[in-house]
Structure 1
Amino acid sequence: MEKQLMRIGISLPGDLLENFDDIIMERGYSSRSEGIRDAIRTYNQHYEWMQEIQGRRAATISLVYDCSKKGVSNALATIQHDYTDLINSSVRFHIETESCFEVIILDGEGEQIVELAEKILSLKGVKNLKLTTIPKTEK
């Protein structure tokens, strides 16, 4: 059975596309399409990994966001207030004039940790998010 290829169109900021083009050239991809297919496969695998996080976990969420974008800081605070039972600590600092780096340290049920990470990741202005979890053993 032959796979049907679908054609899509996307809009990207110029600097993001230039950076992507540089990376796919360095990595030896034959085309943008091949690079995008690989990126989508990686994104899908990451999503599937996140769906498998269950049970008691210790975790960190590290994120970079545009703190000059109207409303993003307040939205982050509101979301975090909804998960105070999970959050042990957080630290935030400016890495550039318009960019903040924040690390949130968590302890709780994996499903809730993933839910929090996904809510933060979906905010407009969040540039990057990394979730790290480890199972928590009960003594």
Structure 2
Amino acid sequence: MGITRFGVSVPDELLERFDRIIAERGYVNRSEAIRDMMRDFIVRHEWETGEGDVAGTITIVYNHDEADVVRELLDLQHEYIDEIVSSLHVHMDAHNCLEVVVVRGKASRVKEIAERLISLKGVKHGKLVMTTTGRELV
């Protein structure tokens, strides 16, 4: 793997703000920060096209007393058994549960799973966080 150096022209104020932020986040230099930004840009493109393999988590909070939410949640997890790697169940209180579902597969399929889980009756809040599998990144 070679290294390529390139120049970028930016306004002084933009660079000053960038330098402050990367220092706050603990980057040792601009190159590391820019490499991370480029990787993030590539990963976002994989999600948007829907064709790349992604990994992620779907986190939902739901009322387990509501309708058939528990049964439907389990049915969906079995329906997508090839994409669902694992799940974690946490009792938040007497009625509310948090479920974290770890997924891996085509971005379009992962989004489909998230939409179906989040839209279940009884789900109070849900969020999909996708990342890369790491195979395609340097």
TM-score using structure 1 length:
0.60
Q: Deviations over 1:18-54 (max 9, x none)?
A: xxxxxxxxxxxxxxxxxxxxxxxxxxxxxxx9x8262
The gaps in structure 1 that reach 5 residues or longer are: 1-48
For 1:131 and 1:90, the matched residues in 2 are separated by 14
Q: Does the 8 Å CA contact 2:59/2:101 hold for their aligned counterparts?
A: yes
Task: Name the residue aligned to 1:111.
Answer: 108
- Residue 90 (str. 1) matches residue 80 (str. 2): no
Q: Does the 8 Å CA contact 1:63/1:101 hold for their aligned counterparts?
A: yes
- Residue 134 (str. 1) matches residue 131 (str. 2): yes
Q: Does the 8 Å CA contact 2:57/2:130 hold for their aligned counterparts?
A: yes
For 2:49 and 2:121, the matched residues in 1 are separated by 25
Q: Which has the larger radius of gyration?
A: 2
Q: Does the 8 Å CA contact 2:54/2:105 hold for their aligned counterparts?
A: yes
Pairing 1:115-126 to 2, within 5 Å after superposition: 115-126=112-123
Q: Deviations over 1:59-97 (max 9, x none)?
A: 001110010112100011111111010111101021011
Q: SS in structure 1 opposite 2:92?
A: strand
How many residue pairs get aligned? The number is 90
Change (3 A) 1:98 1:130: same
For 2:116 and 2:49, the matched residues in 1 are separated by 16
Which 4+ stretches in 1 moved above 3 angstroms? none
Match of 1:100 among 97, 103, 110: 97
The gaps in structure 2 that reach 5 residues or longer are: 1-44
